[in-house]
Amino acid sequence: MSEAQERAWSELAPAYVIEAPRDIASTSIRPGSAIDPVEVWGREAPLIVEIGSGQGHAVVHAASSRPADDFLAIEVFRAGLARTMLDADRAGARNLRLVEANAPEVLEHLLPAASVAELWVFFPDPWHKKKHTKRRLVTADFALIAGGALRDGGMLRFATDWEDYALQMREVMSAASDFEPAFEGQWAPRFDGRVLTAFERKGARVGREIRDLAYRRATRT
């Protein structure tokens, strides 16, 4: 991290970063470490979670423009989290918390079951080379874990600039019994709450089409 980012981390982390109990890896979450959102955010409010928040552009914008909701940014890239805290502090966003951890473990072990109102996955790493596609985040296991974290009727939103990843997302989610599509036709309309990030700009610049997908968590029986 740069010196400014190091400074941001030590000054702002106490207010923004959730210190999670770890398992073996430094970005893991120890099973059985569920937080109480009311205690962490100091109130009861819909919780919106962004996975792979990068520099934090989308989540900081959302947190500062939706003060009635609470936000959690999950990211493994520490410099991105430092940038996010600096911008959140500048924007006066007090309804945002960050966790430096592997997202599926956060959903499974840090957040209580059925506690999330919306889950956002915008421009996840594409791993577009054939030998790497198995590293992609959006798989059947991910859908199962996301279904556990989302409350009934909660939304799972994706955006990607890689066509074959968009197709994979749609295939995975069509087979996921906890979810139903929240759009008609091939793709969801662009989500209003999604600000333009560097990744989207880069994809669009090289001529890749941006696709949104949205799924609703079915009611538990």
Ligand X SMILES: C[S@@+](CC[C@H](N)C(=O)[O-])C[C@H]1O[C@@H](n2cnc3c(N)ncnc32)[C@H](O)[C@@H]1O
Q: Where does this chain bind ligand X (CB under 6 A)? A: 51-54, 74-77, 80, 102-103, 122-125, 137, 197-199
Residue 126 tokens read as: 């594409």
Q: Where are the beta strands (DSSP E) in 133-193?
A: 150-160, 179-181
Least separation in angstroms between CB 52 and ligand X: 3
Least separation in angstroms between CB 66 and ligand X: 18
Residue 41 tokens read as: 């955010």
Residue 194 tokens read as: 């999604």
Q: Residue 52 or 154: which CB sits closer to ligand X? A: 52
Residue 8 to residue 155: CA distance in whole angstroms:
32
Residue 152 to residue 156: CA distance in whole angstroms:
11
Beta bridge partners of 80: none
Return all residues near 118 (Cβ < 8 A) that are at least 6 apart.
46, 48, 49, 154, 155, 156, 157
Residue 212 to residue 194: CA distance in whole angstroms:
10
Q: Residue 136 or 217: which CB sits closer to ligand X? A: 136
Q: Residue 114 or 195: which CB sits closer to ligand X? A: 195
Residue 43 to residue 41: CA distance in whole angstroms:
6
Q: Residue 80 or 154: which CB sits closer to ligand X? A: 80
| Alpha-carbon torsion (176, 180, 183, 185), positive or negative | positive
Least separation in angstroms between CB 221 and ligand X: 30
70 is known as an active-site residue = no
Residue in 36, 125, 164, 178 annotated catalytic: 125
Q: Residue 103 or 214: which CB sits closer to ligand X? A: 103
Least separation in angstroms between CB 194 and ligand X: 9
Residue 193 to residue 198: CA distance in whole angstroms:
16
Least separation in angstroms between CB 60 and ligand X: 11
What DSSP element (H or E) covers 146? helix 140-149
Q: Which residue is nearest to ligand X (CB)?
A: 52
Residue entry with tokens 């956002």: 120
Q: Would you please indicate which residues are annotated as catalytic (active-site) residues?
A: 125
